[in-house]
Amino acid sequence: MNNVNPNATKWPLSSRLFHWVSAILLLVTWILMLLYQNTDDKAYIGLHKAFGISILCWMIARVINRVFTKAPPAPPMPKWQRVISKLSHFGLYALLIAMPMAGLLMTVYGGRPVDIFGLFQIPVFVTPDRSAARFYNDVHTDIIWPMIIAFTLLHISAALYHQFILKDKLINRMK
């Protein structure tokens, strides 16, 4: 993923769309889970799953788009910041793919198909297994979710640091 366009000042339109739609999908998926936890209404968990699967599809398309598009040149910064930026971006991609996969596996190992907005269902494609379901439940809620929170907070803090302390207009590259 080191394809750079030396003349670009912004990410290509496709990358910007992929970025902001991913952020919105993540927010919606999380809000649906909060609604479910606070109301116990099954409709919300159904929508949480459907939006979560949408994130999986969107992220796979985003990675393909990332391989075929060129990034703007990295702004000048100390090497350690560049390394952390690359690692955290890679981490966010990996987490946003692993999270819905764990959710899907938790559900099908629990013996439940996943309904996608009433359009079609992902069938139970494994032999249901309670201990596997519990394992992926733990991975989903206790491992990957706290990592998503940590990486996203780091990411947004870095964006705010560029905007208000360095004042280098980095956010314009993604607008």
In the complex, the residues that contact ligand HEM under the rule CB under 6 A are 19, 22-23, 26, 29-30, 33, 45, 48-49, 52-53, 55, 66, 89, 92-93, 96, 99-100, 103-104, 106-107, 114, 137, 140-141, 145, 152, 155-156, 159, 170-171, 173-174
Q: Which is nearer to ligand HEM, 5 or 22 (CB)?
A: 22
Q: Which is nearer to ligand HEM, 84 or 174 (CB)?
A: 174
160 in Cβ contact with 170 (< 8 Å)? no
66 in Cβ contact with 1 (< 8 Å)? yes
DSSP reduced 3-state for 116: strand
* Residue 120, C-beta contacts closer than 8 angstroms, at least 6 positions apart: none
In the complex, least distance from residue 108 CB atom to ligand HEM, rounded to whole angstroms = 8
CA dihedral 29, 113, 101, 63 (to 10 degrees): -80
Query: Can you tell me which residue has the tokens 């949408």?
Result: 54
Q: Which is nearer to ligand HEM, 124 or 174 (CB)?
A: 174
In the complex, least distance from residue 78 CB atom to ligand HEM, rounded to whole angstroms = 14
In the complex, least distance from residue 151 CB atom to ligand HEM, rounded to whole angstroms = 7
Tokens matching residue 9: 């000042």
Distance between CA atoms of residues 110 and 140, nearest Å: 14
In the complex, least distance from residue 9 CB atom to ligand HEM, rounded to whole angstroms = 10
Q: E strands, the chain, where?
A: 114-116, 120-122
DSSP secondary structure string, 77-103?
Answer: --HHHHHHHHHHHHHHHHHHHHHHHHH
Tokens matching residue 69: 């598009």
Q: Which is nearer to ligand HEM, 47 or 127 (CB)?
A: 47
In the complex, least distance from residue 68 CB atom to ligand HEM, rounded to whole angstroms = 12
Q: Which is nearer to ligand HEM, 66 or 84 (CB)?
A: 66
In the complex, least distance from residue 7 CB atom to ligand HEM, rounded to whole angstroms = 15
Q: Which is nearer to ligand HEM, 105 or 127 (CB)?
A: 105
